[in-house]
């Protein structure tokens, strides 16, 4: 699977000025389109709790209002090598994960669910995918309401795990032996999935 997306985009993100200005009053006023990872990262640094923590992404979308970026969502390969009943390391191909999602506080209610719905429709139009997995971080007070609103099925909480931290950032991949860092408990997350296998 080769996800379509962001290599041809060249837009520069602009943020709402200090004097305020117009704000959207309906999600239907937002424009959604593929963007570069570079652009998405600026949105995450501005509004996402993980800021500029590095992650693996294949396709990214931006949400715009009056030419100003006000959100981003990124998809990539699942972090989990196995999810019972769905995939293991031998048949993971075709599954993707929502890696990041953020929207500016100026965005009205239901903007996230409309954004997710648009991007999934766009991805499925250009790719044959088996399904999408995503997580809501319990430590941030997230319960996954926006995923339920877009038809994701709740599978429960993830198992307790630990992450390796280096210089106060999570080391997503690579060796840990001989690296100066520490293992810290990872908060449990709510797991959601959309299964498209019956549609293929």
* Token pair listed for 95: 């599954």
Are the CB atoms for 22 and 42 separated by under 8 Å? no
pLDDT at 3: 59
Output b/e per residue, 132-162; b: 16+ Cβ within 10 A: bbbbbbeeeebebebbeebebeeeeeeeeee
Rounded Cα distance, 70 and 13, in Å: 9
185, exposed or middle or buried, with CB in 10 Å at 0-12, 13-18, 19+? exposed
Q: Tell me the pLDDT tens digit for each residue of 45-89.
A: 999 999 988 899 999 999 999 999 999 999 999 999 999 999 999
The yes-or-no verdict on residue 9 having pLDDT over 50 is: no
* pLDDT tens sequence across 144-185: 999 999 999 999 998 777 777 787 777 766 666 667 788 777
The set of residues, in sequence order, having a beta carbon less than 8 Å from that of 162 and lying 6+ positions away, is: 183, 184, 185, 186
- What the block records as the tokens of 68 is 């100003």
Query: How much is the mean pLDDT over the chain?
Result: 86
**Cβ-based neighbour number of residue 91 at 10 Å:** 11
- % of the chain exceeding 70 in pLDDT: 86
């Amino acid at each position: 699977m080769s996800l379509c997306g962001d290599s041809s985009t060249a837009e520069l993100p602009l943020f709402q000025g200090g004097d305020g200005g117009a704000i959207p009053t309906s999600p239907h006023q937002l424009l959604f389109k593929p963007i570069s990872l570079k652009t998405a990262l600026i949105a995450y640094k501005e509004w996402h709790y993980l800021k500029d923590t590095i992650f693996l992404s294949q396709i990214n979308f931006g949400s715009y209002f009056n030419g100003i970026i006000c959100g981003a969502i990124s998809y990539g390969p699942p972090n989990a090598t196995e999810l019972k009943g769905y995939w293991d390391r031998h048949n993971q191909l075709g599954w993707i994960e929502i890696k990041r999602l953020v929207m500016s506080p100026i965005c009205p209610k239901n903007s996230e669910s409309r954004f997710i719905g648009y991007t999934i429709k766009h991805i499925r139009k250009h790719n044959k995918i088996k399904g999408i997995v995503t997580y809501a971080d319990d430590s941030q007070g997230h319960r996954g309401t926006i995923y339920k609103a877009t038809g994701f099925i709740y599978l429960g909480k993830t198992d307790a795990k630990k992450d390796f931290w280096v210089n106060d950032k999570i080391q997503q991949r690579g060796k840990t032996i001989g690296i100066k860092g520490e293992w810290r408990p990872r908060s449990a997350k709510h797991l959601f999935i959309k299964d498209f296998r019956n549609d293929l």
